[in-house]
Chains A and B, each alone.
Chain A
Amino acid sequence: MSRDSKRDNHRDTSLDLNRQPVDVKRRKLLTGLGLTAGAVAGSQLLPVTGRYVQAASSEPIRIGFQAHRTGIGASYGRWYERTTIAAAARINDMGGINGRPVEIIVEDDGTDPKRGAEVIEKFATKHKTDVAYGTLFSHVVIGSAPRAGELKMPYFVVSEGHHVASGMLNRYVLQPGITDVKSQVIAMAPWIGDNLGKKVTMIYPDFAFGHDHRDNFSEAIKAQGGEVIEKIAIPPTETSFFKYFPKIPRETEVVYHVMVGPAVLTFVKEMGEFFGANRPEIFGFIDSLEAVDMNSPGLEALDGTYFWEAMPRYATGDEHDAFYRAHVGVNETGASTTDAKDVSTYSHMFGCWETLNIIKRGMEACNYQGPDDRASLIEAVESFETFEKSDNHPQGDKVFNGKTHQAFGAQHISQLNEGKLEVVHTTSIEDGMYEDEVDYTTQSL
Chain B
Amino acid sequence: MDFWPYLLLASLEGAVMAAVLALTALGLSLVFGVMRVVNVAHGEFFMLGAVLAWWFSSVSTQWFGISPALAFTVAFIMSPLVTAAVALVADRLVLKRLNYQPEATIVATIGILYIIQQLALTFYGPDARPVVAPFSYRVQLPWFGYSGYKLFVIAAAVFLLGLVWFLLSRTRAGLLMRATQQDYETAQAFGIPVSRVYAGVFAFGAMLAAMAAVLIVPIQQAHYLMGLDPLLLSFIVVIIGGLGSLRGTLIAALLIGMSDGIISVFFSPTLAKILATTLVAMVLVFRPQGLFGDRPQ
Contacts and interface: CB of A to CB of B under 8 A. Distances in A.
Contacts of B133: 297
Given A238-B269, A298-B136, A265 B1 contact: no
Q: How large is the interface on B (under 10, 10 to 19, 20 to 34, 35 or more residues)?
A: 20 to 34
Nearest to A74: B126
Contacts, number: 74
A265 B270 contact: no
Given A69-B126, A235-B269, A243 B9 contact: yes
A394 B98 CA distance: 60
A266 B270 CA distance: 20
A31 interface: no
Nearest to B14: A243
A293 to B, nearest CB: 9
Interface string B136-166: 1010100011110000000000000000000
Interface string A377-419: 0000000000000000000000000000000000000000000
A317 interface: no
B226 interface: yes
A243 B264 contact: yes
Contact of B128 (A78, A237, A242, A262): A262
A311 B10 CA distance: 39
Interface string A219-257: 000000000000000010111101101100010000000
A266 B221 contact: yes
A9 interface: no
Contact of A243 (B126, B130, B221, B261): B261
A341 B132 CA distance: 14
A320 B4 CA distance: 56
A430 interface: no
A246 B6 contact: yes
A291 B1 CA distance: 33
Contacts of B264: 243
A262 B265 CA distance: 22
Interface stretch (A11-19, A90-98, A269-277, A348-356): A269-277
Interface string B203-233: 0000000000000000111010110010000
B220 A243 contact: no
B140 A74 contact: no
Given A243-B10, A273-B145, 11 more contacts: A240-B13, A242-B9, A242-B13, A245-B144, A266-B220, A266-B221, A273-B146, A276-B138, A296-B130, A297-B133, A298-B136
Interface of A: 69-72, 74-75, 77-78, 235, 237-240, 242-243, 245-246, 250, 262-263, 265-266, 270, 273-276, 291, 296-298
24 contacts: A74-B125, A75-B128, A77-B126, A78-B127, A235-B270, A238-B269, A239-B220, A239-B229, A242-B9, A242-B13, A243-B10, A243-B265, A243-B269, A246-B1, A246-B6, A246-B265, A262-B225, A266-B220, A273-B146, A274-B145, A276-B138, A291-B127, A296-B130, A297-B133
